[in-house]
Homo-oligomer: A and B are copies of this chain.
């Protein structure tokens, strides 16, 4: 189960992101929920990027790995 301590991305910028999309008001639980979702999506893309870096015989994940991972993840 996800607990408060497992969260990596802070809530404040997520709240700002929703407000910037033109929300009048944003509940704290809404910002938390989107934070959990973005971390999950980030993890999925990161896992693909790590596989791609290994495939290219590198130990460093580069932006080209992230870009291709996202392209393949998004389809």
Contacts and interface: CB of A to CB of B under 8 A. Distances in A.
B26 A60 contact: yes
Which interface residue of A25, A29, A34, A59 has the most chain B CB atoms within 10 A? A34
A32 B32 CA distance: 22
A34 B42 contact: yes
Contacts of A34: 42, 45-46, 49, 66
Q: Is the interface of A mostly helix, strand, loop or mixed?
A: helix
Interface residues of A, number: 42
Contacts of A30: 49, 61-63, 65-66
A55 interface: no
Interface in A19-41: 20-27, 29-30, 32-34, 37-39, 41
